[in-house]
Structure 1
């Protein structure tokens, strides 16, 4: 027994020692000296208390090579998994469950477009040279260090990162903005199966006069295919635990409206939460160049940034840059489709997807003159009608690399305007300010000219001119403002004013109106303190205005003192979402049950979920609530009496029953923070019990959908896991840019057990900020990179 216990103790000590050695070998190195090939001169990397590198180099090439090196040691697995998503290579490491996602991304032809974009690059341009240096740094770290822990778990064999990978990731970003895959099939189903009266609740107010409503004939199998396409497109990113870009807030205030007399810039892009967080912060300094930037995986150029002279933030434009097109097939030749009166051939190719633990899967990819056919996503059960994809990302020159290289150096209005013109897809709003006193906003996208009367909210008929594109509008026609008379600019994904119709899947105006209401107050002098309060605001008019036409009905149907008291609490609710709100919980449950009571009998299981996952539903529900005569209130296929009163009663009773069952019988326990929570999920944390190791949280979450602090969850029954929100919160007063404020939702590092893996998560959810330090900084540690062989 003694010998056995001694052996067990030795074995446990060895395992503990081995585990410690294993973990230590995976951690980033933030001090000491490392030889890095191809450096022309030593580079200093000083790390601050949040693990942010401040890189000082003698030239730009060394600067970007060093950025690639330190970015890789903190985020290599993130780089690997996002390039695999964009290029349709996830099943190779996750198995067959990711085949639908891989098939979707292969069908989008992102890999092919990345190859074309690489071919177009000027190989002598500074942007290309910088990208190559950055990728050299990434690959230098990968080849000289142990694989990340996730590589070991998944059995990933390292391979070099390329420019094609970087540009493929731009395609993933563009795809994540595209709402058409879910919205266009759902709205077309409503139009064709229910009729125009059922479309009145949807926000299609931008429609040109005389819009075309004649759609292509689709078979029952086509509708099933489209429903599957909508579902797969919704699940594609979440299935891999990869962030999706959702919305954003940004504003710039001129010096006449600030306490300091200099412009103030604020921004918080809204992106799905994940571990690691999407942005990698780094300050870059070389002779003639300095920038504190926020970088995506495999991108050397900051998507957000500032220095002492200027800064910018992004929001999503939300313009519709995707059209789904139903092609008419030649009955005598399935590889031909009818376009403008002529049969034209489909280009047919084969592709092979590697599958972990199984044989490679061969898929057939087809392309019509309108664009790729996306039916392969459905597999062998696809309907007979090919659905083509016209996508601006595939159809524009789109010099993104050069555009963002210039954005990173755009210290004047003229430079920023010129840089914005080079960003053609995805559509972005660039909100900018400089220390000289200028502010500006540009909607950056190449907007297609569609035939008059065509409504791209619906699936278009490829055999008619509906699907034609007549060119692109010039960038000068895009919505934009420079030094507006009001002294401020606000961008929050709402439909922008424009000289021509710009179809899009815009967010509700409520969030932008809430920001505008505060920013328009001429008595307020803005600084970083009151700007923090505005970024963290949890009030929206959406709930009260949706409830207003229903309160009379709710008062009639409420039974007993407790229910009547809950109705009166809703009547007095101002739309605020603090952690202790009961009304916020009750409203959100009621909103779902109201949507279900009104829409589900018409849409069924197949189309109800896709539709309520779209932005279109946000505008539709208040309109529905206000229209007592809407046909949606009728009960289809039932002998029960239909009407708004009956639907509201069913929804109310269902809401109370669900909350009592889920949160307890006492409404005092229905607090928002108990039902609305945030967990930051790692791709490996999607699998139990790895969630206990890799995920971060759970945290009670204030805010909600379409409030300034836009911590959003899907419409559905309680509880509500938060899916997306501010991916960072930034505030820069150009009177003292060195005191800019920022926060990371989780931490700077993506390496498990590193001290910066989750060190900002608590501060983030509780609304605290840290300094985005501009050099020289008080370094916690210094890594010195020196030229090596």
Structure 2
């Protein structure tokens, strides 16, 4: 005991020293936001002033220095995000995360993003945009070479290596891939069409085209493989995919200030760090407050005193799956228009942490890469090669130059020209300027397809279904400039167009809600009511679905009241009286969301199987299908496959769904229904890539927070259709409101914080504000920047 007493002070001292060492080690990795830093290849000093939320305001004496400084400060806050995004895009995750990510790497290698980006980087012309990109990447690389590695690099053993233009283009490919829902939806719709029949397509509002019957060689095993690919294509936790967006611009005659007003909130999967990095840039003849994607020196969202823009997903169908024809007499060939054409091959090697590298032999047909090569031969169930035609691989796509121009587009003509350079992914550009103009352009290269071809299904590569004779001119894209109604608006809905534009569009309810308010002539739009519209938590979707369902449930309680306890009847009356709003204190949204899931599962899972139903509920197909399903009592989906008796009515399925919903809520949220509030059941946690490990989740993840809103509300804090509780998956990645009468007082918000460095004060300092619907000023005017400067960093040559 005496020995222990003598040793105890020494042990305590060792623990204190170790703790202090850990604190110092973590602190050493935080961004440097004051003092001086020498930066090679600068022509003149660059000043960076940081405001109260860690946003850098960069002032340079020339454009190249400005972008080099941006690269450095961006890397200070987001180097791990940059590293992970390039690794997922290029199929290099298994090298640092191990064999569990090998399937994901195989998919991205097979998609051809890495190979295409490498080729495109070599072809980049010497333009101001390329010079900006090279300077920006040089800033990143100088930071990486001279500063301690991020904590995540140490935990995962990530080696440092320079960032290149090919990495930037690969991340653009990942962005484009996140839009391409066809990899997930086309196999499902083809399965419904070919296994169940045309009557089952009615709820998806997809026409049956007998001349488009699926390739006769596609077997159940091929469909199983496509289902595996669909599951793989949902992305990696902590690496966000784009999901939707709201944006509108209102002309001065409809605003309180008399100048145009711009509002936008792109909807993206939540993650730590957040997808956007904010920075205010200045050099002679140029100024922009921008929102930047990792590894991009051009702002994808931005504004200054003269103009601004926001983006939404166009969601045009720019990806086709194509079943190729082969036979034993023509190995390594596919039949196209009666000719046997060779399959090209390329080899790629995937490094795997703790294991030997994996060699891939990837094939490409005249239509595109064979995507089922992503599955190892030993687990592949089918034999039909499935090619992927993808606009991102097939267009010139000068997207770096396009966004460089958009960052400087202060007139309608300049904005239109910049938008025309965006070929893939498809983006809606919603733009306004202080001079009084507003515009919207659906920016994408739209392929010409043969008449009658429906790209919602897997196509037959032997005939002309998969042909792409060319692209429509940009003039045929959906677009509006200074319309008479005084506003333009985009909410991922299907737009009116001169030519057919098939796509994976969102429900129209959110767009309808925005349009209903924007077209009200009695409203003069300003910053306050624009924020209220972004935070709106109501559409007509719930009413549309409940309209045919509630009478069935209410009638059943009248006919057989003994089956429903008084509390259950009271809950049903509460649902009947609900106004469709999703606030955290309400109970009716919980009842509705669980009922929605139970109806979907009760009607569709027996036909699709549990695996097929899981795939379906992770797509937008189910959102469209359910209102059409409940409005059609004769739909074959109400039949019970494999059940005795097989016949079932809509009323029976809905009645059982209500009982199952209440049973699940009691089992999950507790027997006391007073605790079934939307905020308790619907929560937002921002996941870090390392947060999949329970212990690390407590360190790196941010949340949970009670969240209002829901899927396809203007405040689109969205969870997938499923059983309670409902973790929020995606939502507003920023909310911005710019009144061009006072652009220096523009408002915005970051879902988490500027910094991706754990332990930094700006790691999560906006998370509570974001979920509560609060905003902060985006400082643009010199007086405001000076007043809110908290530290100053100077880069010297």
- Output the CA distance in 2 between the equivalents of 1:431 and 1:755: 33
Match of 2:347 among 319, 329, 350: 350
- Output the CA distance in 1 between the equivalents of 2:73 and 2:18: 30
TM-score, structure 2 normalization = 0.97
Task: Verify: 1:113 aligned to 2:119, yes or no.
Answer: no
Match of 2:61 among 55, 58, 80: 58
Shift in CA distance, 214/275, structure 1 to aligned 2, threshold 3 Å: closer
Question: 1:631 corresponds to which residue?
Answer: 636
Shift in CA distance, 45/751, structure 1 to aligned 2, threshold 3 Å: same
Residue 270 of structure 1 and its aligned partner are, at CA, apart by 0.1
Cα-to-partner distance string for 1:661-686 (whole Å, 9 max, x where unaligned): 11122322111001000000110111
Residue 213 of structure 1 and its aligned partner are, at CA, apart by 3.8
- Output the CA distance in 2 between the equivalents of 1:396 and 1:280: 28
CA contact (8 A) 1:326 1:385 kept: yes
- Within 5 Å, give how 1:114-153 maps onto structure 2: 114-123=117-126, 125-153=127-155
Match of 2:666 among 650, 660, 664: 660
Question: 1:190 corresponds to which residue?
Answer: 192
Residue 650 of structure 1 and its aligned partner are, at CA, apart by 1.7
Question: 2:687 corresponds to which residue?
Answer: 681
SS at match of 1:379: coil
CA contact (8 A) 1:330 1:343 kept: no
Query: Structure 1 stretches (4+) deviating beyond 6 angstroms?
Result: none
Residue 495 of structure 1 and its aligned partner are, at CA, apart by 0.1
- Output the CA distance in 2 between the equivalents of 1:747 and 1:445: 31
SS at match of 1:584: helix
- Output the CA distance in 2 between the equivalents of 1:544 and 1:377: 43
Residue 49 of structure 1 and its aligned partner are, at CA, apart by 0.3
- Output the CA distance in 2 between the equivalents of 1:359 and 1:257: 64
- Output the CA distance in 2 between the equivalents of 1:532 and 1:409: 26
Question: 1:199 corresponds to which residue?
Answer: 201
Task: Verify: 1:765 aligned to 2:768, yes or no.
Answer: no
Task: Verify: 1:271 aligned to 2:271, yes or no.
Answer: no
- Output the CA distance in 2 between the equivalents of 1:106 and 1:118: 17
Cα-to-partner distance string for 1:457-501 (whole Å, 9 max, x where unaligned): 000001111011110000000000000000011100000001121
- Within 5 Å, give how 1:460-479 maps onto structure 2: 460-479=459-478
Residue 122 of structure 1 and its aligned partner are, at CA, apart by 1.2
Question: 1:575 corresponds to which residue?
Answer: 580
Question: 1:648 corresponds to which residue?
Answer: 654
Question: 2:458 corresponds to which residue?
Answer: 459
**What 5-or-longer segments of structure 1 have no aligned partner?**
none
Residue 637 of structure 1 and its aligned partner are, at CA, apart by 1.5
Residue 351 of structure 1 and its aligned partner are, at CA, apart by 1.4
Task: Verify: 1:164 aligned to 2:163, yes or no.
Answer: no
Residue 334 of structure 1 and its aligned partner are, at CA, apart by 3.3
Cα-to-partner distance string for 1:124-170 (whole Å, 9 max, x where unaligned): x1000000000010000000000000000000010000000000000
CA contact (8 A) 1:203 1:616 kept: no
Match of 1:782 among 766, 774, 792: 792
Question: 1:217 corresponds to which residue?
Answer: 217
CA contact (8 A) 2:190 2:214 kept: no
SS at match of 1:315: strand
Task: Verify: 1:714 aligned to 2:720, yes or no.
Answer: yes
- When structure 1 is superposed on structure 2, of 218-227 and 164-173 the one drifting more is 218-227
SS at match of 2:737: strand
Task: Verify: 1:509 aligned to 2:508, yes or no.
Answer: yes
Cα-to-partner distance string for 1:500-534 (whole Å, 9 max, x where unaligned): 21100000000000001110100100000011110
Cα-to-partner distance string for 1:354-402 (whole Å, 9 max, x where unaligned): 0011111112201000000011222122210011000000000000010
- Output the CA distance in 1 between the equivalents of 2:293 and 2:200: 41
SS at match of 2:448: coil
Task: Verify: 1:104 aligned to 2:101, yes or no.
Answer: no
- Output the CA distance in 1 between the equivalents of 2:288 and 2:210: 50
SS at match of 1:291: strand
Aligned-residue CA RMSD (Å): 1.1
- Output the CA distance in 2 between the equivalents of 1:138 and 1:448: 37
Question: 1:326 corresponds to which residue?
Answer: 323
Question: 2:616 corresponds to which residue?
Answer: 611
Task: Verify: 1:690 aligned to 2:696, yes or no.
Answer: yes
- Output the CA distance in 1 between the equivalents of 2:19 and 2:287: 45
SS at match of 2:203: coil
Match of 1:377 among 374, 379, 395: 374
CA contact (8 A) 2:194 2:214 kept: no
Residue 767 of structure 1 and its aligned partner are, at CA, apart by 0.6
Question: 1:304 corresponds to which residue?
Answer: 301
Aligned residue pairs: how many?
A: 781
Question: 1:406 corresponds to which residue?
Answer: 405
Task: Verify: 1:602 aligned to 2:589, yes or no.
Answer: no
Question: 1:724 corresponds to which residue?
Answer: 730
Question: 1:315 corresponds to which residue?
Answer: 312
- Within 5 Å, give how 1:516-527 maps onto structure 2: 516-527=515-526
- Output the CA distance in 1 between the equivalents of 2:603 and 2:737: 43
Cα-to-partner distance string for 1:571-608 (whole Å, 9 max, x where unaligned): 22121100011110011001111000000110102311
Cα-to-partner distance string for 1:717-745 (whole Å, 9 max, x where unaligned): 00000000000000000000000000000
CA contact (8 A) 1:54 1:775 kept: no
Question: 2:560 corresponds to which residue?
Answer: none
- Within 5 Å, give how 1:6-45 maps onto structure 2: 6-45=9-48
SS at match of 1:732: strand
Residue 215 of structure 1 and its aligned partner are, at CA, apart by 4.1
Cα-to-partner distance string for 1:537-575 (whole Å, 9 max, x where unaligned): 000110111010111111133423222222222222121
CA contact (8 A) 2:214 2:458 kept: no
Cα-to-partner distance string for 1:10-57 (whole Å, 9 max, x where unaligned): 211210221121012100000001110000000000000000000000
- When structure 1 is superposed on structure 2, of 550-559 and 730-739 the one drifting more is 550-559
- Output the CA distance in 1 between the equivalents of 2:150 and 2:702: 18
- Output the CA distance in 2 between the equivalents of 1:581 and 1:136: 52
TM-score, structure 1 normalization = 0.98
